[in-house]
Amino acid sequence: MMKHAPYPAWLANSAIYQIFPASFQDSNGDGIGDLNGIRQRLDYIQDLGFDTVWLCPIYESPFRDAGYDISDYCAIAPRYGSMDDFAALVDAVHVRGMRLILDFVPGHTSDEHPWFKASSRHDHNEFSDRYIWSPTTFCGPGEFSESGGDYIKGIGERDGNYLANFFAFQPALNYGYADARADQPWKLSTDHPAIKALRMEMHRILRFWLDKGVDGFRVDMASSLIKGEAGKALRAERIKFWAEIWEWFDRDYPEAALIAEWSNPSEAIETGLHLDFMIHFGEASAMKVLRGENRRTIINTGDHSYFDPSGRGELQHFFGELQGHLARIGDRGLLSVPTGNHDLPRYSVDRGEAELKCILTFLLTLPAVPTLYYGDEIGLRHLFDLPSKEGAYRRTGARTPMQWDDSPGAGFSEAGESRLYLPLDPDQDRPTVSEQLERKDSLLHHLKTLLHLRKEHPALGVRGSLRQLNSPGQPYPVIYERRLGSDLYRIAINALASPVDVICEAFPKTAELLVGDASIEAAAAPNEGKILIQLPANASAVWTCHA
C-alpha cells in the first residue's frame, strides 16, 4: 500500500457546491451563464454554507459534449468570459475565504485539438502516439479489441482507427498500457518517450492553472487513463502515475486538492488522490439509495430507492460499502456522497420537499464531504423530453438554468426565452431561490441549518464515527449515531409516507432536538434501556445527546 502526503487539511472541513457554468448565472444577456455571473452569486453560495466551488469545464471547446471535449486546455471559452474574468473570479473566491476547484479532463480531447489533428497526419511526428491508434484501418476480426471502447474509422489521412473515450469526437489520450506487448504496437509501455511527453504536458497544464490561483481539480474519469487488464500490474502503474503528480503537488502546491471521479474511494485514495465520490459507475449502492426505483431515471438500478415512500428500499448494502471504504481509507483520504451531478438525473425526480429534506438530512450527517449540485438546494426539477443540448441527451434535463426568482428569465438571464441555454421549468409553481429564502421551512433553509450544524459540531463531520442503531430487519426508520470523543449525536429518518413509531436503544440522560420533527418517550419497559421514537411521515431529526 502506498504511503503518500496527507490531503490538504481544509478539504476535510469543506462543503462543495458544483456549478454547470452555462446554466448558473448569465451576466451579459446572451442566454448563457458565465464567469462574471458566478462571481455575482458567490455571497449566496457562501451564505448557504459552502466554502468550495467546483466548476464543470470552462476551457475552449467546440461544445459537442458541453465542454468535456477540450480544444485548448489553457484558454477560457469565450462564451464564459476572458482570462481577466477568471482572475477576477479567483480573487473574489479567495477574498471570501473560499476555494475554487476546476474540472480537469485528462482522458481525451476534442478531435479539433491541435494534438489530434497532428496525430491524424500520415507523416510520423511528435503527436503520432499521443492517442491510441490501431496499426491499420482495416483490422481483422477481433484485432484491436482488447482496449475496450469504440474505435473510429476513416478520420484523417492516417491508416488507422482511433480509440474514442465516449463520443466519436473524443479521442482517448495515450497514457500507456500496464500490459504492453511488442506484437500489439498500439500498447505502448508507460515509460515510452511519447507517453512521458504527454504526462509532462499534463503536468504543465495543471501548473498553469495552479499558478493562477486554482485550489485543486476534480479529475474526470480518473481511473481510465492507463489501460490494461485489471490486476496487480495495472494497479501498480496507476499508483506510479498519480504518485508522480501528488509528489510535486505536496512539494509545490501542498494546499491543492486532487478529487477523483473514480467511484471506488478505497482504490482512488490508495492510488494517491485525496477524495472520491460514491456515484454511478463502480459500486451501485449509493445510486440505489437515492435513485433505485424506475422513475424515468437515466440510470435504473432495478431496485427501489431507500427514499421511495412505499418503503421497499434498504440501506444495509450502502452502509456496508460506506463503512468498508471508511475503514480501508482511514485518515489517508476522504469520500463524498453527492446529491447529484451533471451526468445524473436530479434527485428531485418525482419527490416533494419533505422527501428531499429527508435525503439532505441523511447525506449531510454522514462521515463524508458534502457535495451539492447547483439547484439541488431548492429541489430544481429534472425536465424530461428536452432535445439534446451539446451532447447531453438524457442528461439534458439536469442542466437547465438556475431559478433565482419569479421573473420571466427566473433571474438567470435577461435574454428572451428563445435565447436561453436551455428552457426553464414551465410550471408556474417552479421552485425559486427567492421564494425559499423568504420561507423559513423551505428546503433551502433546511440545507443551511444542516450545513451550519455540521460546521459547529465536528462529530457530524468526516471524523466522527458512524453506528447504525436500527436492526437490518426493520429498515424504516433508519437510526444512527455519530460520535467524536464525548460528543454524541443521534439521527432518525422516516422516509415513509406514514408516521412511524420505533423502539430504540435509549439515549443518554438528556437529548436536545437540534433540527427536525420527532418525539421521544419512555418505552413500555424502560428498565430494558429502550425508548420510543415517534416520527411523522417523511420526517427527520437530529439530536445532540448529553450523558
pLDDT at 207 (0 to 100) = 98
- Which cell is 375 given? 439547484
- 473-478's contacts with Cβ under 8 Å and 24+ in sequence apart are 474/502, 475/306, 475/311, 475/313, 475/314, 475/315, 475/316, 476/311, 476/500, 477/502, 477/533, 477/535, 478/306, 478/315, 478/362
The Cβ of residue 154 has, within 10 Å, a number of other Cβ atoms equal to: 6
Name the segment(s) of the chain with CATH classification 3.20.20.80.
10-105+215-221+259-266+274-455
pLDDT at 246 (0 to 100) = 85
pLDDT at 418 (0 to 100) = 93
The Cβ of residue 303 has, within 10 Å, a number of other Cβ atoms equal to: 20
Q: Kindly give the interhelix angle for 193-210 and 232-252, rounded to the nearest 10 degrees.
A: 40
SS3 assignment, position 163: strand
pLDDT at 308 (0 to 100) = 87
Compute the distance between CA of residue 132 and CA of residue 153 in angstroms, rounded to an integer. Answer: 13
Name the segment(s) of the chain with CATH classification 2.60.40.1180.
465-546
Domain 10-105+215-221+259-266+274-455, CATH 3.20.20.80 — does that match?
yes
Strand 371-373 with 16-19, pairing: parallel
pLDDT at 241 (0 to 100) = 93
pLDDT at 138 (0 to 100) = 85
| pLDDT tens, position by position, 330-362 | 999 999 999 999 999 999 998 999 999 999 999
pLDDT at 2 (0 to 100) = 45
pLDDT at 521 (0 to 100) = 72
| pLDDT tens, position by position, 482-541 | 999 999 999 999 999 999 998 888 877 678 899 998 887 765 545 567 888 899 999 999
Contacts of 417 (CB under 8 A, 6+ apart): 408, 409, 423, 424
pLDDT at 31 (0 to 100) = 98
Compute the distance between CA of residue 435 and CA of residue 447 in angstroms, rounded to an integer. Answer: 15
Q: CB burial class (10 A; 0-12, 13-18, 19+) of residue 197?
A: middle
Compute the distance between CA of residue 146 and CA of residue 180 in angstroms, rounded to an integer. Answer: 11
Q: Which CATH architecture is the domain 465-546 placed in?
A: Sandwich (2.60)
Instruction: Report residues of the chain scoring pLDDT below 50.
Output: 1-4, 294, 298, 525
Residue among 421, 426, 432 nearest 26 (CA): 421
